[in-house]
Amino acid sequence: MVTLFHTSPLLLDCGRPLSDVRVAYHSYGEAREEATLVLHALTGDSAVHEWWPDFLGEGRPLDPTRDYIVCANVLGGCAGTDGPAALGDIPISLRDMARVGRALLEHLGVRRVQIIGASMGGLLAYAWLLECPDLVMRAAVIGAPVRHSPWAVGLNSAARAAIRAAPGGEGLKVARQIAMLSYRSPQSLAATQTVQRRPGVHAVTSYLEYQGEKLLARFCERSYVTLTGAMDGFQPNDAELASIRTPVLAIGISSDVLYPAAEVRAGAAALPNATYWELDSIHGHDAFLMDAGELPGRVGAFLRGAAAES
Ligand SMILES: CC(=O)SCCNC(=O)CCNC(=O)[C@H](O)C(C)(C)COP(=O)(O)OP(=O)(O)OC[C@H]1O[C@@H](n2cnc3c(N)ncnc32)[C@H](O)[C@@H]1OP(=O)(O)O
Ligand SMILES: N[C@@H](CCO)C(=O)O
């Protein structure tokens, strides 16, 4: 944990200044001036070793014996970094989060980074490329579009409406159920949700209920509203995207219904220096966590500077 913006405040995109911002982060490996920055997903946190074992470890894309790896909980989150409980329910943008990240890197003595982000972390990677192009050497963006689509905004809007309708927990559980349907796929649920756990209750129904309970036990509804708002507000125009000269590996997931592979591919085509690759999985958006397959190898090759084949 570190406190940043002590001597001069962070000016948020909404116009509000923030001082003494607490940021929770993990680092792995020996401190260096060049680092790999990991950007977590909506309900993720800075503990990469807990949620991405396929990626972190000796011989993996994030190798602490070779690299200095940093991951911070985002501004507005609820896993150590200041969020609505400390700041109130103010709008926060993905670019604000990148500015906090820049301050953290300065604090750590890091001068250049390569970035890897998935889902919300992938959107945030694009915000970094717009906000801090001087710092970023290359970016691997997994399962994320270049801007939040009406479809994705709609899903988040429905989730926030559930929270507003039933604050205090029930709404967050319904929000997670809606989101889970977009993180899985018809094929994935057909393959996994065949056996009833409770008599008379569809397997998928009790699965979604359980996922809602699980999120309620570890997440905060105010952060959910803040972070989904930040994602929905990320709408760079074509000229901004065309200004991104940094090499990008954009990765779509074949069965992703939240950010369809075709959308990710089209977004990559709008960037001057992006390569596209597709992860084949039936498990939908969360395949980057649950069914990584060739993904670590592809990302590792890109981060090592090797040309990834499309
Ligand atoms: C790059 C990034 O930034 S990612 C950031 C990391 N993100 C996170 O850590 C976010 C939080 N994590 C997640 O989203 C999830 O944990 C994932 C995607 C990693 C995996 O989800 P899981 O819930 O573990 O897996 P899955 O969807 O297969 O569900 C399994 C659970 O549902 C239960 N379950 C399965 N079917 C049913 C059913 N029909 N009825 C009731 N319960 C069921 C299982 O018993 C299991 O329970 P357990 O979690 O107590 O072991
Ligand atoms: N399942 C992950 C990815 C969602 O984008 C999460 O809950 O953060």
What are the tokens at 230? 């930040």
**Residue 306 pLDDT level (bands cut at 50, 70, 90):** low
In the listed set 229, 254, 283, which residue is the last one of a domain according to the structure? Answer: 229
Average pLDDT on 217-242 reads: 98
Q: CATH number, domain at 197?
A: 1.10.1740.110
Query: What is the CB < 6 Å shell around ligand 2?
Result: 41-44, 119-120, 183, 286
**Inter-helix orientation angle 94-108/120-131, to 10°:** 70
The answer on 123 and 256 residing in a single domain is yes
> d(Cα 275, Cα 272) in Å, to the nearest integer?
9
> d(Cα 195, Cα 141) in Å, to the nearest integer?
35
Counting atoms of ligand 1 from 1, which one is nearest the CA of 218? 11
The answer on 205 and 82 residing in a single domain is no
Domain assignment of residue 164, yes or no: yes
**Max CA-CA distance within the chain?**
61
Instruction: Indicate if the pLDDT at residue 272 is higher than 90.
Output: yes
The answer on 174 and 35 residing in a single domain is no
The answer on 7 and 122 residing in a single domain is yes
- Our answer to whether residue 119 is catalytic in this structure is yes
The answer on 270 and 220 residing in a single domain is no
The answer on 161 and 16 residing in a single domain is no
Mean pLDDT score of the chain, rounded to an integer? 97
Distance 211 CA to ligand 1 centre (A): 7
Instruction: Indicate if the pLDDT at residue 310 is higher than 80.
Output: no
The answer on 214 and 103 residing in a single domain is no
Ligand nearest to the CA of 79: 1
The answer on 105 and 167 residing in a single domain is no
- Our answer to whether residue 256 is catalytic in this structure is yes
The answer on 53 and 135 residing in a single domain is yes
> d(Cα 103, Cα 42) in Å, to the nearest integer?
21
Percent of the chain with pLDDT over 90: 97
Instruction: Indicate if the pLDDT at residue 307 is higher than 70.
Output: no
Side chain identity at 54, as an amino acid letter? D
- Our answer to whether residue 40 is catalytic in this structure is no
**Residue 305 pLDDT level (bands cut at 50, 70, 90):** confident
Q: Per-residue b/e over 219-251, b at no fewer than 16 CB within 10 Å?
A: bbbbbbbbbbbbbbbbebeeeebeebebbbbbb
Single pTM value for the model:
0.96
Distance 179 CA to ligand 2 centre (A): 9
Average pLDDT on 223-243 reads: 98
Average pLDDT on 299-310 reads: 73
Please count the residues of the chain. 310
With contact defined as beta carbons under 8 Å apart, do 178 and 152 qualify?
no
Percent of the chain with pLDDT over 70: 98
Instruction: Indicate if the pLDDT at residue 114 is higher than 60.
Output: yes
Q: CATH number, domain at 120?
A: 3.40.50.1820
The answer on 242 and 220 residing in a single domain is no
Domain assignment of residue 192, yes or no: yes
Each residue's pLDDT tens digit, 142-170? 999 999 999 999 999 999 999 999 999 99
Domain span at residue 170? 150-229
Domain assignment of residue 308, yes or no: no
Average pLDDT on 40-46 reads: 98
The answer on 143 and 67 residing in a single domain is yes
Residue 31 burial (CB count, 10 A): 11
In the listed set 211, 229, 247, which residue is the last one of a domain according to the structure? Answer: 229
In testing the pocket of ligand 1, which one of 172, 210, 231, 258 has its CB within 8 Å of the most ligand atoms? 210
In the listed set 229, 250, 268, which residue is the last one of a domain according to the structure? Answer: 229
What are the tokens at 88? 């109130």
Domain count within the chain: 2
The answer on 10 and 130 residing in a single domain is yes
